[in-house]
Structures are given as C-alpha cells and as structure tokens.
Structure 1
C-alpha cells in the first residue's frame, strides 16, 4: 500500500495532472456560453481547473488561476514557450519561431518519410527535427516520460534534466581573438584576458597615431 502511494506521488511530480487534459481539450471551437458574441473561440486552458478550453470572455472566472493561451500554426495547436515553461520543464522538445516568438506543438505530427539523420528525429513519432532535441511535441515527451526509459526525463521544474540540459546548451565556448582567451555564453559575453607570462601586454599592441615631425625653418643654400 505504501509503495503504491509513493508511485502516485512520483507520477504527479513527473507528469502534472493537467497536462493530458490540456493536450486533449477542444480548441478553436465556438464557446457554448458566448456563442452569440464575436471572437468567442475557445483558445484558453486553465491549469488549475483542468477542464475544457474556454474563450476570452470566460477569463473572468479564472482570474486568480494559471491560464495559458493556445495558438494556431499550420493547422496545429501550439503554445508559446515563455508561457508554458513557467509551469513545466519543456527541455528536449523542438522549438520553432513564429512571429518572433518561440513556440512548441502540443501534439505529435507524424510524417511518412524519416530523415537520414537518426539523431534528429522524434523518439516517439519519428518526425524530422531541426535540433538534437528528442521530441517534436509535448505529447511525445509525455509518452517518453511514461515509458520510463530515462529516469532523468521529467516535466518537473525541480528535475535534474532541466539543469543539465541548460548546462549543455549554455556551455562556455572558448576561443582566441588576437591571442586573447575569450569566454562567451548564451546569457552574457565577457572578455577575459588570460595572458601567459611571456606574452606582451595589450597596450604594446595598440597602434597609436605617429606624431608628425614639425617642419623646420628653410635655409637657403650657400653660393
């Protein structure tokens, strides 16, 4: 009995209870309550209520709740990364840029032809990916978490995979620019001059403008 309770608690940590209802909700249908109103498409989902999708006029009933907006891209439901990453770890999911904002797809979009690079395909539906991510959508990562193949794969923001994923993608790249070691990462850029004992200082390499010699008084040649 104790082991079953522990398993349920671990499942709640790995997969939030609202994730599956959000993926299966009916989006972009006319709201049954505000059907006579304009722009009453159901494109919002409440993470606290975990019910069905609702329109913008229903937002008043979810004033203090966690609500995300579902959008449409290529006839598929998407969500902005900046909105969903506040609640779950969305690492290992392929991101796309639509209208200047990063988005990810809610459900899988399988394709018949698999690319030549097996490293850049979804582990669940085998869709071609742009980056070395692992999954093409939230639903595919959910299947990956449920399969239990990777113990570090989780949706929890407290998980270790999210930290290691950020470390791998924010790793400091070192290079040499004019003999100076430079450290650059995704968050900030800073130049750190690390010179060996025998290396001349940076000041000695600067090209200062040469001083012009003042022209003296001309002297006439003797007869």
Structure 2
C-alpha cells in the first residue's frame, strides 16, 4: 500500500469481527465465520465455509486465522491483491503471516519492555518493537500511516501552477510600471523633485483690540 493506493475492501476487512458462529449453519461442523470475500460487495463481513461454497465459489476469498487471540492472514493469500512490503511478517506454524490490526502492548517492566527498548526498529504508527526493518506492525497500522501521509502531503502540481501564475502577474505588473516610468521621466525637469515651499509660521493673535469708550 504505497503512494496512497488503498483498496476499498481493506477498511471493511479490518473492521470485521471474525470467528463468530454462522447463523445460517448453526449445527454444522465448520460454521466459524473466518472467510472474507474481496470481490463480492454484497457480503458485508465474514462468512463460513458453507456460505463460501454457496455464494462465493468463483470469487477471491481469503481465510483469517488466529494467533494468540489475534487475527492473522497468510502472505501467500495477500501478495497478489495487496502491497504489504511495509508490514512486518511473522512465521507461525510454518506459514508467513501478517497481523490484521494493532495489538495491545504491555508497558512498564518485564521481558516485553526489555525487548522493546533493545529493538532498533519500531512501528511508525503504534511504536511497537519490530524484528526486521519494516515500517508497520500490522495492516491496520499501515492504513493509518497512509492516511496520515495523505493528510500531510502537499499537492505539488497545484503549488507549481500557483507559483507560475504569481510570477506572470508580477512580471506583467513590473512591465507596466516600467512603461509608465519611461513616459513620466522622459523630461529630466519633471523627474527632479521640486523643493517644498518654506513654512510660514504665523503667530495667532489673542483677539481684536478694543478702544476705551469716550465719556
């Protein structure tokens, strides 16, 4: 998931609750809802094995698995439909998997805290310690990182166009001013600054004098 390209089904996949009992096949053996279809928009969530056989036989379906009560998916099922090159991979039961969402971390003291402090790589979203030089620990953190990059990115094309418009405007104004200056300064006498007239300080009289009356 690079360059802001996020498939429409990814957010639904990360928000789906898996491993619930299918209400349509309550008394069947394989009735856990641990499958997800990335082609069918009508299936708003997870479904079981029997639902897949009935409605999604020709669709692209991925299976969700569990590892320490957290949802994972095999890399082999995602590599053709999703770019996961920035996500940390793990080997569980001889299969390379990635976690769907961020996992809670134990902070403070203990073995996990020591491993986190000694790790050279951390998830850019949740700061979880990573084993290898990846950017994110799960698909959910990868999606958060892409959204953050999209919010902070500047549209370079619009910025260049605006700059060109400003330059054209400034150039036109400059050329217009230059022409006016040549016309106004064609005569050297008019270009010289005329001295301002001296200020005449006048004393204000207090009032009109009046003569004393004759008796």
Contact 2:4 2:147 in 1 (8 A): no
Residue 24 of structure 1 aligns with which residue? 15
Q: Which has the higher contact order (CA 8 A, sep 6+)?
A: 2
TM-score by length of 1: 0.59
In 1, the alpha carbon distance for the partners of 2:144 and 2:138 equals 10
Task: Choose which of 47, 51, 55 in structure 1 pairs with 2:48.
Answer: 55
Q: Which runs of 4+ in 1 moved over 4 A?
A: none
In 1, the alpha carbon distance for the partners of 2:21 and 2:58 equals 24
Any stretches of 5+ residues in structure 1 without a counterpart? 1-10, 152-223
Residue 124 of structure 2 aligns with which residue? 123
Structure 2 residue matching 1:22: 3-state secondary structure: helix
Residue 70 of structure 1 aligns with which residue? 64
Residues 118 and 144 from structure 1, CA distance in 2 versus in 1: closer, same or farther, beyond 3 angstroms? farther
Determine which structure has the larger helix proportion and give its number.
2
Deviation larger for 65-74 or 119-128: 119-128
Structure 2 residue matching 1:148: 3-state secondary structure: helix
Any stretches of 5+ residues in structure 2 without a counterpart? 108-112, 154-215
Query: How many residue pairs are counted as aligned between the two chains?
Result: 141
Residue 36 of structure 1 aligns with which residue? 27
How far 1:116 sits from its partner (Å)? 2.4
TM-score by length of 2: 0.61
Residues 70 and 28 from structure 1, CA distance in 2 versus in 1: closer, same or farther, beyond 3 angstroms? same
